[in-house]
Amino acid sequence: MKSFFTAFGFFTVFGVGLVSHLGAASAGDSRLEQLSKITKTMAVVEKYYVDDLNFTDISNKTISGLLSNLDAHSSYLDERAFKDMQIATSGEFGGLGITIGMKDGAVSVIAPIDDTPAAKAGIKAGDVILRIDGQSTIGMSIDDAVNKMRGKPKTGVDITIVRKGEKKPLEFHIIRDTIKVQSVSAKLVPSENILYLRVSTFDANVEKKARELIEKNKGVRGIVLDLRNNPGGLLNQAVGLTNLFVSDGVIVSQKGRDESNNEAHKADPKKKVTDLPLAVLINEGSASASEIVSGALQDFKRAVIIGQKSFGKGSVQVVMPVDDKEAIRLTVARYYLPSGRTIQAVGVEPDVVVYAGKVPNEENNLTLKESDLKAHLQSELEKVEGKKESKNDDKNIITAAQIYEDIQLKTAIDSVKIIEKISQKGGQK
């Protein structure tokens, strides 16, 4: 009993003393007094916290806490996190293949990357990550969550997901793999002579690859640009991709409190490559750079935007090294579209709202052509006979059957056809 009251008395006296010291410090507004408050608090933690912490640990946690409380995207990068970030931006790393962010205080999936373990396992944009290998993500930083999911290829990780519309959490056991991202790909919709251009992420080669694919398919009647589940990437590539479709105007600007972070990115008339009718697909997994592209094309009235409201990530982060091994990621500005509107926490509203799913039978006016049936039958015959399938046909075209499975894509294709007809009528006047 004596020891209990001694301990209780100690904490009472200690608590009063601490309040007294902190209260005195907070009374003043000077930087020196506030810095003194921080150092005093750190010293108290070092001396009295239940577990042994050295001053370096306390300092790192102090910086981490400061940055994580600013917004969902600012963070402290210790030596390991700094290395992981450098590996991730190289375009190849071991992991699951998802981009995550903080939404409504929860670690959420922005989008799974195409053809990665996460996408194949069934992880979807909007999923909330509840646990990673049994550890709760409540209070976990984005960087910590990323580090726990990343790892050596062929190793497993257990993910518990909360998904809208599901009564119970979903459990996934996913095997990590080396993530190699194919940022740009193209297929032809032969029945309509429309180019389907898929951009899954904005790496350093997006503008160049997209330009090559558009120029290679100049004979098409229009383009469907698919930015669904595209979590973003490099700003200059978002500007470059948009510039392929527009010749002038400010594509995006960024504004911050420090004027040195203010910048306007204008279109270069020499970089435009096409005036073809354009439809852009977005969904809740379209974020950052993909929102800049879709939002800018919408403001320029250059494309019809189809699908679902985008994620709403329109802030600018820069990585500032603290020393050779550590850095901070800090939000320094917000993006603004040509009309002056912001993306941050708002997202891009599509011109035509279409939810994911199949084309309803009663509205399905697709016509299966004999060539489609022949291709399907030939593929099945080759499987039976043990012959190699024609990979070119499978990879380079979209069949009517595939369109039937994707009502958003079907709507985009129809929109391109309507835009073409409107433009033809306008030219006849």
Could you report the per-residue pLDDT of 347-363, keeping only the tens digit for each?
999 999 999 998 886 44
Predicted confidence band of residue 24 (pLDDT cuts 50, 70, 90): very low
- Each residue's pLDDT tens digit, 395-427: 689 988 899 899 999 999 999 999 998 887 765
Beta bridge mates, 315: 334
Whole-model pTM?
A: 0.75
pLDDT tens-digit series, residues 175-223: 999 887 789 999 999 999 999 999 999 988 999 999 999 999 999 999 9
109 and 130 Cβ atoms separated by less than 8 Å: no
Q: How far apart are CA 213 and CA 205, in angstroms?
A: 12
What is the spatial distance between Cα 302 and Cα 292, in angstroms, rounded to a whole number?
14
Contacts of 2 (CB under 8 A, 6+ apart): none
Greatest mean pLDDT among 9-13, 99-103, 287-291? 287-291
According to DSSP, the β-strands at 352-353 and 304-307 are parallel
Give CA–CA dist 84/404, Å, rounded.
41
Q: At what angle do helices 235-243 and 206-216 cross, to 10 degrees?
A: 20
pLDDT score of 330 more than 90: yes
Q: Is residue 297 pLDDT above 70, yes or no?
A: yes
Mean pLDDT is lowest, of 29-33, 63-67, 263-267, 358-362, for: 358-362
Per-residue pLDDT tens over the stretch 98-146: 989 888 889 999 989 888 999 999 999 999 999 999 999 998 888 789 8
Mean per-residue pLDDT, 254-275: 94
Residue with tokens 């033809």: 424
Task: Say which residue, 278 or 234, is predicted with more confidence.
Answer: 278
Q: What is the pLDDT of residue 6?
A: 32
Report the alpha-carbon distance of residue 21 to residue 132 in Å, rounded: 40
Mean pLDDT of 253-275: 94
Looking at residue 395, its pLDDT comes to: 65
**Which amino acids are annotated catalytic?**
288, 299, 313
* pLDDT computed for residue 391 by the predictor: 40
Mean residue pLDDT of the chain comes to: 84
- Counting residues of the chain whose pLDDT is more than 90, the rounded percentage is 61
Find the mean pLDDT for residues 269-283: 97
Q: What is the reported pLDDT for 335?
A: 95
**Nearest 5°: phi and psi at 250?**
-85, 115
CB 315 within 8 A of CB 70: no
CA dist., res. 71 & res. 141, Å (int): 11
